[in-house]
Structure 1
């Protein structure tokens, strides 16, 4: 079964570590990091200055929209849509990283791409870089 035939539903009782593991299982060339959403006046998108949360904390601890339906992550969802939903419901900013060879790069320039497109590009780039680095 292709990972792209699945959806991932996020409920309030899911802890951050489980969410990240399930997201990575669905999109093996993407990583999901959660940080506190920026407040007005904050401008840094530099992930090195953002503080990740305790991975064992459940999403309920951050919920700011008590009546909101669970978030469903699906392959055709854009990074921007995912970001918007997390900010609106939990006050958390998801940062999506795409594998590029041996490094992980932030997808901020391509936020209008779907998660499936991001994952596919990560796979293609990683395979190409691995092929180039193979000994002859």
Structure 2
């Protein structure tokens, strides 16, 4: 699966296309990169309404491969290197969203499966009325 990023794109559109494929993951965009295996500065998160043109460092457009066999690290690197966009993948947990900084070596498919398992586990422990 590939996502096309155009010069006229809005960050929220990219996020929506990613979530269509990976409902238990999300992409967040930042003004600058996060340290290796470190958290992103949440104060530098960019609004989904922001046009790509406003924040990218490389003025090109094209495809980003987000196939389920690619690691989080590979995808984040591609966004940065090829398009000049700083992204962080987050995974759904029982209580919210977790940055995947310590598990960037896992594939998008593995991360999405972990998120799904977390949500399903949460739903199974909710008592019936």
1:64 to 42, 58, 66: 58
Question: Deviation of residue 33 (structure 1)?
Answer: 0.5
Question: Partner of 2:121 in structure 1?
Answer: 128
TM-score, normalised relative to structure 2 = 0.81
Distance change >3 Å, CA 92–CA 83, structure 1 → 2: same
SS of 1:84's equivalent in the other structure is: helix
The number of residue pairs the alignment matches comes to: 125
Q: Give CA deviations for 1:12-32 in whole Å, capped at 9, x if unaligned.
A: 243211110110111000111
Within the alignment, does 1:21 sit opposite 2:41 as a pair?
no
Q: Give the TM-score normalised by the residue count of structure 1.
A: 0.78
Q: Distance in 2 between matches of 1:81 and 1:38?
A: 14
- Is the 2:24–2:116 contact (alpha carbons within 8 Å) kept by the matching residues of 1? yes
Q: Secondary structure at the match of 2:82?
A: helix
Contact 2:3–2:14 under 8 Å retained in 1: no
Q: 2:103 aligns with which of 93, 97, 110?
A: 110
Unmatched 5+ stretches in structure 2:
none
Instruction: Please state how far the C-alpha of 1:75 moved relative to its aligned partner.
Output: 1.0
Answer whether contact 2:93 2:118 (CA < 8 A) is retained.
yes
